[in-house]
Amino acid sequence: MLLGPKHLEETITKQTNKFWKDVLNSWLKIYRLENARTLNLSLTPVWYNDEIKGIKHNKLVVAAIDFGTHGSGFALCTRDVYKKDPTKIYCHTWNSGTTITYKAPTSVLLKPEGTLHSFGYDAEREYNDLDSDDDRKKHYLFRQFKMKLFNDPTLSERTMLKDITDKQKPAVDVFAAVIRYFKETLQKRVELQGNDFGFNYDDVYWVITVPAIWNLKAKQFMRIAATKAGLKDNQLSLALEPEAASLYCRRVPVQIVTLSDGAKQIASLPEGSKYLVLDLGGGTIDITAHEVAKDGGLRELHQACGGYWGGTRVNEEFTKFLTRLVGGDVIHKMKDESPGEWLDLLNEFEMKKCNFVSGDRDKVTIRVPVSLIEGYREITDCELSDAIPQGPFAKKIHLRSDKLSISAQMFEEFFQESIDNVVKYIRDLLDKPKVKGVGSMLAVGGYSESPLMINALKKNFPNVRVVVPATPGLAVLTGAVIYGYEPDIIASRVASYTYGIAKQRIWKEGDPERKKSHMTTRKGLHWCDDVFDKHVEIGRVVKIGEFQEAKDYYPIQGDQKYAILEFYASTEKDPKFIDDPNMELVGLFVFELSERKEGDDGKVLVRIGVGGTELEVEVKEASTGRIFKTYCNFLP
């Protein structure tokens, strides 16, 4: 059944999520107003789109944005260059002041009024160069904020982000500022090379990477931020990070083969090969299992998985150590009064972390800002150098002047929780029947450059080749450009959830008594409320670009002008009701019903597609043949 106002009231009463309750209440008001048609049109940008957003295109350029937790960058390739040599992908470079890198820190400096001041290395330099502490307090510096979108049940367009001094701005504005900056930087690059062929933004197809383990809300949030930054909705695709890396890794040599003449050469993975792609990023660790198909395409063997075990977890362990060492009050004072020095301390640790090799030295030395030492003295009335020998880290650290020496053994402990989680998860994954026969692990992402991580993988999985490509930090970025031109290489995916739609049906013996509705049919039969109508089952292989079999739905009331489809997702295979355990309301699709003639039951056919990176919906009116196609709305 399609939701009408009476059923909507019951749904609102049962809904515990405040955001969704507000959304449903707003639609109930629309139902009750005579000018509902006008109000619905005013909501068009958020709720309704009658065009499906395809990934087929004929654009001159594909530009990809890898929006990372620690670092971000963009790459591009023109169509004619890609046809000749798909390896010639341009990756934009950034100047750190001492070296050139392909990724810039995901740091955004906003002016007091909220507009972009600078991004990346420039943002951190400019923040430190602001004239006074008072000036710094007026500006906003956001760092490593991508993880805000990971498993946030309250995520919406109203979600706020805290900067390094806890001032807040809408998260969607911060994400949009970064994407807009990349867009404008691309335009400047084209202009510098000479825009003799009349290039404009309409000639670009954009691909933005997202973690495979993000939920549908987070993916839609990124799309909304992109459109707010000026990217057109029909010129944009989201690519799953481990899949993009897998496309890149198709060309990576991973084994030695013997040719017919006896000669040996290094080759990439042949047909039938099963392998894992480990996207070891700053925030999340994304793991996907692929098999090389006969046509050279890739088939997903198991739904993408992973967790928050990336490189920033190592940084968090270091911050916890500092807090135990000097106390939370000292850390808070330093962040509030000397945020620039706090930033310098984190950056120095990041540099030491990236270069750390177990057994290479007996200690790691980090320069401690004067503000931390003085802050400790002011709050405790003691010298930090005198307190350390009496504290819990007495034999593990030593402070001389502003140099803090940490034993190599203790420094390695900062990595341990992250590495242990990754190893355990991979071991569990390799035990699954569908993943049996995996012969290689391709490790990509910035964290894959850590010798500690790679050595742990080799030690724990001696029967699987661990391969790190020459530029692991660029695998996702360059793979996203490939995805923009060749999305069909990903032949199939495995559904991460069981998806379905809420409906009513006739109540029958055996149904829970609490599900018996007070509403009845013309024949006096009671309806059964909150029924989950399954469309896709978790773990099922779904082909890319294909919709599932259509199911019928009918309006509850004869005079309904609008209908709402409630979409639910579950981690269970066969849930029965929408309030079963592990069930979540993930989105709504609202559409206008045609005026019905006498005898028309208003039947609509609903199909959903989950093979892509976003959930697609197709609704067809049986009587008129009118079709609505859109992505479902998941954000309240």
Q: 259 falls in which pLDDT band (50, 70, 90)? A: low
Is a pLDDT exceeding 70 seen at residue 196? Answer: no
pLDDT over 90, % of the chain: 41
Among 79-88, 173-182, 503-512, 583-592, the range scoring the smallest mean pLDDT is 583-592
Residue type, 141: L
pLDDT at 579: 92
pLDDT at 47: 28
Is a pLDDT exceeding 90 seen at residue 454? Answer: yes
Is a pLDDT exceeding 50 seen at residue 33? Answer: no
Distance CA 401, CA 393 (A): 18
pLDDT at 331: 94
pTM exceeds 0.85: no
Q: Taking residues 341-359, what's their average pLDDT? A: 88
Q: 54 falls in which pLDDT band (50, 70, 90)? A: very low
Q: Taking residues 371-382, what's their average pLDDT? A: 94
Q: Taking residues 21-39, what's their average pLDDT? A: 42
Is a pLDDT exceeding 90 seen at residue 60? Answer: no
Q: 98 falls in which pLDDT band (50, 70, 90)? A: confident
pLDDT at 361: 80
The H or E element that residue 479 is part of is helix 475-485
N- to C-terminal Cα distance for the chain?
Answer: 22
pLDDT at 612: 67
CATH no. for 61-241? 3.30.420.40
The H or E element that residue 567 is part of is strand 562-570
What is the bridge-based pairing of β-strands 298-307 and 490-494? parallel
Alpha-carbon dihedral of residues 427, 432, 438, 440, nearest 10 degrees?
-30
Average pLDDT, the chain: 83
pLDDT at 589: 81
Among 214-228, 503-517, 591-605, the range scoring the smallest mean pLDDT is 591-605
Of 455, 461, 466, which Cα lies nearest the Cα of 359? 455
Domain ranges of the chain: 5-42+495-631, 61-241, 311-413
On whether the CB atoms of residues 298 and 489 are closer than 8 A, the answer is yes
**Domain with residues 5-42+495-631, CATH architecture:** Sandwich (2.60)
pLDDT at 10: 56
pLDDT over 70, % of the chain: 85
Is a pLDDT exceeding 80 seen at residue 12? Answer: no
| 623-631, long-range: CB < 8 A, 24+ apart | 623/594, 623/596, 623/597, 624/594, 626/594, 628/50, 628/591, 629/50, 629/51, 629/52, 630/48, 630/49, 630/50, 630/51, 630/52, 630/589, 631/49, 631/53, 631/220, 631/223
Among 57-66, 403-412, 450-459, the range scoring the smallest mean pLDDT is 57-66
Q: How far is CA 598 from CA 105, 521, 562, 578, in A?
A: 63, 18, 18, 33
Quick one: how far is CA 282 from the chain centroid?
A: 12
Q: 482 falls in which pLDDT band (50, 70, 90)? A: very high
Is a pLDDT exceeding 60 seen at residue 26? Answer: no
Higher model confidence: residue 61 or residue 297? Answer: 61
Q: 85 falls in which pLDDT band (50, 70, 90)? A: confident
pLDDT at 32: 39
Q: Taking residues 618-635, what's their average pLDDT? A: 77
**pLDDT one-digit tens code per residue, 564-583:** 888 898 989 999 999 999 99
Q: 49 falls in which pLDDT band (50, 70, 90)? A: very low
Q: Taking residues 389-394, what's their average pLDDT? A: 90
Query: Could you give the angle at which helices 311-326 and 370-380 cross, rounded to 10 degrees?
Result: 40
- Those residues whose C-beta lies under 8 Å from the C-beta of residue 582, and which sit 6 or more positions away, are 570, 571, 572, 575
Task: Report CA torsion sign: 293, 296, 300, 306.
Answer: positive
pLDDT at 37: 29
Of 155, 164, 40, 73, which Cα lies nearest the Cα of 110? 164
Q: Taking residues 78-85, what's their average pLDDT? A: 88
What stretches of 127-272 adopt beta strand conformation (E)? 140-143, 160-162, 168-170, 204-210, 236-240, 255-258, 264-267
pLDDT at 51: 30
Q: Taking residues 154-169, what's their average pLDDT? A: 90
pLDDT at 249: 83
